[in-house]
């Protein structure tokens, strides 16, 4: 089995009992299913098999070196958004010619690094950036590969902090002005136009939004071709969502369908395939999100007049999504607990009122020393972690059947001084 599941009333990852991992590695602890990661990537890659394509793993979701090496071994490219991510991608063995580089704020040094490395494309997000890339490329005596990111003004109706495809968002160039920018880029001696890029948001559960984006891309690329500008690839971005509430059915509070990659690819390729261009897809969350849980230990259970608090050793420094996005993560005990559920807030040790993993959640009667699993934390979990309150970041382990392997050591305060 590749998912996290209950077996004999105990929570397992693949064929490994998670409670045993807490004794070996301590908590907080991120636990990944290696086989689930592999299966998710394979399913996504196969969904686009009818066309020339590259699956560029969105490293912002998770940049653990062992996970990146696994992606590279399966043929993945990389979607990077910083010089640091580009460095890690190359060190992990991801070929430079499979790396696309987004970000609205690339520094001169990062642009030079990308050109020197021979990346597939800079996803350029503004006209001023285009001019800087051109200038740096000319200074280096090279041409920079560029895919201009268009903003299609599509509202995916998700959390505003992860919406990227509306005209009010900082990302990309408004589709009404992007064509003129392409014309200017076409005349720049330091620019080689290789593609068109678009990314409309994250945690998208309705593939019609991807279809709407694809239609705009089709029309835009057709217009470019008519103007004598041929691109090599169309980058449709990422953003496919995952299950959050109903990972473990025993404690499910809500059922919400998540479309498979094949549904997304079918709708997108129906529109874009006639253009005969390479398709680039940038999944992150949909590859890694469901493959991990954050394991945390119950320190105290306290009550105020109106609220029951379950105080655990993982906080917003380990998983900031609930605080930052009001994100929902299912929380379950490592050992099943019978009896009635009671409403409680699950809070961490950080000195902030906003330090919570769940609010008003119906949970079993846990005690000090029990362990909880915060589900679906493989994406934007560790990658958003920090050292607030001078707390070391968690360890990371992945499971392959009955075998566990430490893929990132727990930080130590002593390492900081």
Which residues participate in catalysis according to the annotation?
Answer: 351
Which residue reads 């993945």 in tokens?
A: 76
Which residue reads 């010619």 in tokens?
A: 97
How far is it, in rounded angstroms, from Cα 75 to Cα 114? 20
Task: Look at the alpha carbons of 136, 138, 139, 143 in this order and tell me if their dihedral is positive or negative.
Answer: positive
264-267 LR contacts (CB < 8 Å, sep 24+): 264/47, 264/207, 264/210, 264/240, 265/47, 265/48, 267/207, 267/208, 267/210, 267/211, 267/214
> How do 233-235 and 191-197 pair as beta strands?
parallel
> How do 342-347 and 308-312 pair as beta strands?
parallel
> In a 3-state reduction of DSSP, which class is residue 403?
strand
302 burial class (0-12, 13-18, 19+ CB within 10 angstroms)?
Answer: exposed
How far is it, in rounded angstroms, from Cα 15 to Cα 399? 8
Q: With beta carbons less than 8 A apart as the criterion, state whether 21 and 31 touch.
A: yes
My answer on whether omega of the bond before 28 falls inside 30° of 0, hence cis, is yes
Which residue reads 């399913």 in tokens?
A: 43
Q: Which residue stretches of 227-342 are H helix?
A: 261-272, 285-288, 321-325
């Amino acid at each position: 089995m590749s998912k996290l599941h209950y077996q004999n009333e105990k929570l397992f990852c693949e064929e490994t009992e998670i409670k045993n991992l807490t004794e070996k590695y301590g908590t907080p602890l991120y636990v990944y299913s290696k086989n689930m990661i592999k299966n998710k990537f394979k399913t996504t890659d196969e969904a686009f098999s009818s066309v020339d394509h590259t699956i560029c793993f969105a490293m912002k979701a998770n940049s653990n070196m062992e996970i990146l090496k696994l992606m590279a071994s399966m043929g993945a490219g990389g979607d990077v958004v910083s010089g640091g991510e580009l460095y890690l991608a190359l060190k992990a063995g991801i070929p430079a010619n499979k790396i696309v580089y987004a970000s609205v704020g690339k520094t001169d040094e990062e642009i030079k690094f990308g050109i020197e490395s021979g990346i597939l494309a800079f996803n350029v997000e503004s006209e001023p950036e285009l001019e800087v890339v051109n200038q740096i490329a000319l200074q280096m005596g090279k041409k920079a590969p560029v895919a201009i990111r268009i903003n299609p003004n599509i509202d995916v109706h998700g959390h505003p902090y992860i919406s990227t495809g509306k005209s009010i968002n900082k990302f990309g160039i408004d589709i009404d002005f992007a064509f003129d920018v392409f014309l200017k880029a076409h005349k720049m001696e330091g620019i080689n136009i290789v593609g068109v890029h678009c990314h409309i948001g994250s945690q998208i559960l309705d593939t019609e939004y991807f279809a709407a984006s694809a239609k705009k891309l089709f029309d835009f690329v057709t217009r470019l071709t008519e103007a004598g500008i041929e691109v090599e690839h169309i980058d449709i971005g990422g953003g496919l969502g995952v299950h959050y509430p109903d990972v473990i059915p025993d404690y499910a509070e809500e059922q919400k369908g998540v479309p498979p990659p094949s549904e997304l690819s079918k709708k997108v390729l129906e529109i874009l395939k006639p253009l005969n261009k390479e398709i680039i897809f940038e999944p992150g969350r949909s590859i890694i999100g469901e493959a991990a849980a954050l394991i945390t230990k119950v320190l105290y259970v306290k009550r105020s007049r109106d609220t029951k608090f379950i105080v655990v050793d993982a906080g917003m420094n380990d998983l900031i999504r609930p605080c930052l996005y009001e994100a929902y993560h299912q929380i379950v005990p490592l050992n099943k607990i019978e009896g009635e559920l009671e409403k409680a807030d699950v809070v961490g040790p950080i000195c902030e009122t906003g330090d919570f993993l769940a609010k008003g959640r119906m949970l079993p009667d846990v005690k000090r020393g029990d362990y909880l699993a915060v589900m679906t934390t493989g994406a934007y979990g560790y990658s958003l972690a920090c050292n607030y309150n001078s707390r070391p970041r968690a360890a990371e382990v992945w499971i392959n059947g009955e075998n566990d392997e430490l893929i990132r050591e727990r930080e130590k305060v002593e390492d900081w001084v």
